[in-house]
Structure formats: structure tokens, C-alpha cells
Amino acid sequence: MHAKHIVWDWNGTLLDDNHAVVESVNVVCDFYGRERVTLSEWRQTYFRPIPDCYERLLGRAIDRLEEWPRLVQLYYEAYKLRLPTCRLSLDAPEALVQWAQHGGTQSVLSMWPHDELGPCLRERDIEVHFTRIDGLRGEDTGQSKAESFAEHLKAQGLAPDDVVLIGDIRDDAEAAAAVGARSILLTTGIATRAGLEMAGVPVVDSMSEAVALLVAAAAKS
């Protein structure tokens, strides 16, 4: 797996936020009178498109024009209250340094609001590692990040063949494949290993393992 550049996902990849995600989902559950879920249950439920996922969770249709924006706001407000309790993934600093020492470049692409993403990285002292940081601009429709990924590469003049996207859900692999890039998926987020393996790309348990896989591949080439 040849790579010169890594595009990192944020939530569930660089950031260990599973507890905040589940607690925020349960705020939505409380609002709709639905029984609360555990991390394991949310992992079994989660899929994209997100609106369809919440319809499965709540057992009812959601009006996409009026109700969905309110649900998203409810989730984000609950998540933002819990964001200060979220730390970087355990090996994130070491993995970022390891890739830089290997001579690779790296950036961040997230569906977290763009204006809030930079400060999140800055507060955790990792912003310096990245050539570009892109978050969600505009409304969160809960759809794929493929278009955002293509724009992220174009803005940096990166060839897809030189890029590996590392994230924690199958949508990351699908976004990479849509533009001809490769991907590695991590089990650290809110997707099950079995679900990740269905993407047909390497699945590992940590950022360090992902970087080690790329470094080892470069040594063999």
C-alpha cells in the first residue's frame, strides 16, 4: 500500500469520543421517548446515510426538511457539552510523529463543523502536524464524505494514488474508493469490526498499527 500522504478522520479516529457520541445519541433517545442505547447497541445500529440510521433507531420516519435539522441540532448541542471530556486516541501523538519521521505528510478531513475543528486540534496540540484541516461547511445532511474528500485532495494538489484515508467507518473507505485513493479502517470508533471488514480494506486496532502498515509497505516497494 503505497502512500505519501495520510488523510486522517477526526471523530473516532484521532479523537476518542465514543462516550460522548453515545451520551449524545441518548439525549436524542430521551427526547423521542426511546429506550437508551449502549455503545455496543449503537455500533450495531449505526450506518450511513445518518437520517436512515436514526429512523431505524427511533422506529419511525423523520421529516428531512423540518425534523431532521432539529434532531441534528439536538445531537450537536449535547455533543459539544461533552467534547471537553474527549481526549486524543491513546497513540495519536506517537503515530503522527512516526509518519512525519517517515517523511510523509498528513491532513485532517472531518464532518465536524469546520469553524470548530481547527480549535479542537489546536487545544490538543496536534494542529502543527497537518498541511490542511477541513471540516464540514454548510449543513450536515448526514450523507457521504466522498465529495468533501475529493475537494480536500484537489485543494492540496494531491494525486489519489499517493493518498491513504484512515478513518473508523465504512464511509471513509467508500469516500476513498470513489476518487481512486486507498484506505485503512480503525476499530476505535463506533463501527463493529465485522462491519468494517465488509469494506474489503485493511482493518487495524490503532493509529500506530495503521502507520506501521504503511511504513512496512514502503519498505517492501
CB 158 within 8 A of CB 109: no
Cα–Cα distances (Å) from 188 to 74, 89, 169, 192, 214, in that order, read 25, 8, 10, 9, 18
Structure confidence at residue 142 (pLDDT): 54
Structure confidence at residue 164 (pLDDT): 98
Q: Which tens digits make up the pLDDT trace of 48-57? A: 889 999 999 9
Q: Which tens digits make up the pLDDT trace of 110-158? A: 989 999 999 999 999 999 999 999 999 876 555 568 889 999 999 999 9
DSSP secondary-structure letter at 65? Answer: T
Structure confidence at residue 95 (pLDDT): 98
Quick one: which H or E segment has residue 144?
none
Structure confidence at residue 19 (pLDDT): 97
CB 106 within 8 A of CB 131: yes
What is the residue-averaged pLDDT of the chain? 94
pTM to 2 decimals? 0.94
**Cross-strand pairs, 164:** 6, 182
The secondary structure of 15-57 as a DSSP string is EE-HHHHHHHHHHHHHHHTPPP--HHHHHHH--SSHHHHHHHH
Indicate the angle between helix axes 18-32 and 50-58, nearest 10 degrees.
50
Cα–Cα distance for residue pair 149/162, rounded to 1 Å:
14
Low-confidence ranges of the chain (pLDDT < 50): none
Cα–Cα distance for residue pair 64/54, rounded to 1 Å:
11
Cα–Cα distance for residue pair 84/81, rounded to 1 Å:
7
Structure confidence at residue 117 (pLDDT): 95
**Which domains can be identified in the chain, with CATH numbers?**
5-17+87-220 (3.40.50.1000), 18-85 (1.10.150)
